[in-house]
Amino acid sequence: MGDRLKARKSKSSYFPFTRNSTDGACFDHHKFLSSKHTMEKELACIRCKRKFVVPTKIGTYRCCECQGVSKSISGYKQLRENSLGAKFFNQDQLHNASTNATSFSSPLLSTTPTGNKRAVLCGVSYSRRRYRLKGTVNDVVNMNSLLVENFAFPIQSIRVLTEEQKDPNLIPTRRNIVESLKWLVKDCQSGDSLVFYFSGHGMQQLADDKEDEIDGLDETICPVDFIREGMITDNEINSTIVEPLKNGVKLHAIIDACHSGTTLDLMHVYKKDNGNWKWMNNNPPGTEPVTKRTNGGTAICFSACEDSQLAADTAAFGGKEMNGVMTYLLAKIIREHSGITYASLLEKLHEDIAKIQRSKHFSGFLRRIFHRRIDQDPLLSASEKFDVRTRILF
């Protein structure tokens, strides 16, 4: 960790700069196809000509080799016939994405979501600021590819917010993030699979008078304009994307930020206690807040670290490119272990971080490229307990 800024020392106060930034500052930051997609078709990449097999209902696909985006005429026609958001299909954005691996095909801003799978991916770089981050856009690229290639998410149903977007409505401001979260859950129905991903700075602040936090602190995420417009608290995230979840709707959140353990304010956390993995209650003693319940659906969150910890960035995984440690390892593990369970994924995340810590090279080369000691324990939380050892991811 850089010497210029130090993390919060005690729980009675917080220091406003916590996930590692690239200038040395620290900022208080189964290969799967749905049962509905059992029919397959062959699709050739328009750039590298590589052929691959995709579900028939997928209208577009990002090549895992060159990152080019291909459009299937039959798949697109099927989307139109099924009224799954064809009018929100942005041809220009698809063309741009096919020629630029860092471009994204985000849906046109609308009050109506598209399809039964949709996602909001948010990477905040805080460019031109002393607490800037360089790995967040790479994290979003990684997560976008993972959803498309491993979980059959249609590209046009993924909304991407980064500071590189040309559309001002897709810049990760407080207003745009909140509006995108509302879009994510609007008119959700049984069978929907939703994803919220955030890579950026996370902080804590004194909890409001609801006293719904065990440690007395609210967890927050930081939009690009948080200094002026304010942070987004766990209470607001919970009320926006957790409470509205109807029966049969499943939300996955992945938060790669400091102090992110209970960013969704979910009722149960799965963690080690005296060496044993088990579900633990996340409610303050003697209370059962209504705000931590869904409307019948399920919310599950993977967080980069516990509430009291910091999350790390590194260039160790991809040469000069920065990545969030949790995002990189999570995507790598999922790609390498088809049909992985929730428990196995969490345990492998802990194992891989522990291996880095134990490495004889960590005190030298790895210490320099990680910027600081990695002392983060990824956390799984959920709106309801489930059998993490048998349930397959997503």
* Plot region of 91 (φ>0 → left; ψ -120 to 50 → alpha; else → beta): alpha
> What does DSSP say about strands 158-161 and 60-62: parallel, antiparallel, or unpaired?
unpaired
Tokens representing residue 387 in the block:
């059998």
The sign one gets for the Cα dihedral 322, 323, 329, 334 is: negative
Whole-Å CA distances, 182 to 86, 171, 194, 305: 20, 16, 12, 26
**Tell me, what's the pLDDT at 315?**
78
C-alpha count within 13 angstroms, C-beta hemisphere, residue 287: 15
Q: What angle do CA 159, 345, 146 make, to 5 degrees?
A: 30
Range in 9-13, 14-18, 317-321, 361-365 with the lowest mean pLDDT: 9-13
**Tell me, what's the pLDDT at 134?**
87
Residue 333 pLDDT level (bands cut at 50, 70, 90): very high
Residue positions annotated with a catalytic role: 201, 258
**What is the chain's Cα-based Rg?**
20
**Tell me, what's the pLDDT at 80?**
27
pTM of the model: 0.73
Range in 32-41, 101-110, 136-145, 360-369 with the lowest mean pLDDT: 32-41
Residue 199 has pLDDT above 80, yes or no: yes
Higher local confidence (pLDDT), 276 or 287: 276
Query: Bridge-partner residues for 323, per DSSP?
Result: 314
**Tell me, what's the pLDDT at 115?**
53
Dist. CA 148–CA 35, nearest whole Å: 16
Pick the CATH number of 102-382 from 3.10.290.10, 3.40.30.10, 2.60.40.10, 3.40.50.12660: 3.40.50.12660
Residue 12 has pLDDT above 50, yes or no: no
| Ranges of H-type helices in the chain | 73-81, 91-99, 136-151, 174-185, 226-229, 234-237, 325-336, 342-358, 367-370
* pLDDT per residue as tens digits for the range 52-77: 554 444 445 555 555 555 554 333 33
**Tell me, what's the pLDDT at 74?**
36
Neighbours of 99 (CB within 10 A): 11
Over residues 107-134, the mean pLDDT reads: 78
Over residues 70-90, the mean pLDDT reads: 32
C-alpha closest to that of 90 among 117, 119, 60, 68 = 60
Tokens representing residue 299 in the block:
């919310």
